[in-house]
Amino acid sequence: MTVVPVLQPSAAPVPLLLRACRLEPVERTPVWLMRQAGRYLPEYRAIREKVGFLELCKTPRLSAEVMIATVERLGVDAAIIFSDLLPLLEPMGLDLEFAHGEGPVIHNPVRAAEDVGRVRELDDVDRVGFVMDTVRATRAGLDASIPVIGFAGAPFTLAGYCIEGGTSKAWLLTKSFMYRHESAWHDLMARLARAVSRYLVAQIDAGAQVVQLFDSWVGCLGPDDYRRYVLPHSRVALAEAAKRVPTIHFATGNPALLPLLREAGGSVIGIDWRIDLDEGWRMVGHDRAVQGNLEPVVLFADRETVRRRTSEVLARAAGRPGHIFNLGHGILPGTPVENVLELVATVKGG
């Protein structure tokens, strides 16, 4: 009888970030930074002199190049795809433009309850197929040790842009729509949640190994409102993705929401800088991983301060398994690149 040797697949080590997502022990804390490829990088600004922002998002080869070059330059442990929250809204019938220097503008915002009827279901995810091509091209261009993170905006944050027609400080139109037209609000949120769910699954099918849900502006709500108007929809947005890969659920602005974010879903909960990491983690529960939370403006300080404040965040994580180092929100334009490098070196123990 011949014995057939069982061939073990060459055991490539599981990337640090994926292990941290699963609360497994790691040799060192993985680090990546929200908005790591943005306007603070001269290489990025040089590309943007030639190509408009939406055009860049719709050119997968260039989008992948931007992120791959950034990962190599910074030495971070993950690549988030280069894209944006808002292109998803175009096939849903919203007329999007990134006006020069002003951020996003939606020319046909949802203002009356009846307007929700014209927000289309995302029946065909190929309408944003360029994003899946970006996932594939980014994955193909990177070492296996660097996982690719896909992402989407959370239903509340997307609804905010749909209703305001752009960004806002107080989200007054969004919140008054929510209070005045509760059933139209839930209809809008449900449409967005289904679209986000399909979109995340499509990114995973294209090779995303983790996905992050950005609820960037939901911190303008208190916990009761979050539970009533948002939580069920964010849960739908994350549920299918969560059956397939680790998910990161991130919000800013109101630490009181942390236990509710956990309830809505996320193998990892993002913590912004308005609460100390140890306290935020306690609120989330130590049986969940967390990501965060250096204040982004610390990167405008001197090198020594960057080092010290980065070490303080690490000290608050206290070596517990399940910490992914990140900022408390995205890198701001104007951030000195050398301080970003200092942060990464500090986390890596250099």
Would residue 169 be called left, alpha or beta, if left means φ above 0 and alpha means ψ between -120 and 50 degrees? Answer: alpha
Cis peptide before 326 (omega within 30 of 0): no
Q: Identify whether the C-beta of residue 247 lies closer than 8 Å to the C-beta of residue 240.
A: no
Q: Closest separation between CB of residue 13 and ligand 1CP, Å?
A: 25
**Does the footprint of ligand 1CP cover residue 73 (CB under 6 A)?**
no
Kindly tell me which residue out of 21, 91, 151, 317 binds ligand 1CP, with binding defined by CB under 6 A. 151
Q: Identify whether the C-beta of residue 30 lies closer than 8 Å to the C-beta of residue 78.
A: yes
Kindly tell me which residue out of 75, 103, 222, 285 binds ligand 1CP, with binding defined by CB under 6 A. 103
Q: The tokens 């990114």 sit on which residue?
A: 203
**Does the footprint of ligand 1CP cover residue 134 (CB under 6 A)?**
no
Q: Identify whether the C-beta of residue 211 lies closer than 8 Å to the C-beta of residue 244.
A: no
Q: Closest separation between CB of residue 6 and ligand 1CP, Å?
A: 42
Catalytic-residue membership of 84: yes
Residue 161 or 281 having the CB closest to ligand 1CP: 161
DSSP string covering 89-112: GTTTT--EEEETTTEEEESS---S
Can you state the percent helix, strand and coil of the chain, rounding each to 5?
Answer: 50, 10, 40
Structure tokens that stand for 174 in this block: 């969004």
Catalytic-residue membership of 307: no
Q: Closest separation between CB of residue 167 and ligand 1CP, Å?
A: 3
Catalytic residue among 73, 84, 136, 278: 84
Per-residue binding string, ligand 1CP, 162-191, x by CB under 6 A, is -----x------------------------
Cβ partners under 8 Å of residue 255, min gap 6:
271, 272, 274, 275, 279, 280, 283
* Number of residues near ligand 1CP (by CB under 6 A): 22
Whose CA is closest to 267, among 191, 207, 329, 209? Answer: 209
Kindly tell me which residue out of 37, 125, 237, 306 binds ligand 1CP, with binding defined by CB under 6 A. 37
Catalytic-residue membership of 19: no
Kindly tell me which residue out of 43, 65, 72, 84 binds ligand 1CP, with binding defined by CB under 6 A. 84
Catalytic residue among 161, 199, 226, 229: 161
List residues with catalytic annotation.
Answer: 35, 39, 48, 84, 161
| Chain positions contacting ligand 1CP, by CB under 6 A | 34-39, 48, 53, 80, 82-86, 103-104, 151, 167, 214, 216, 329-330
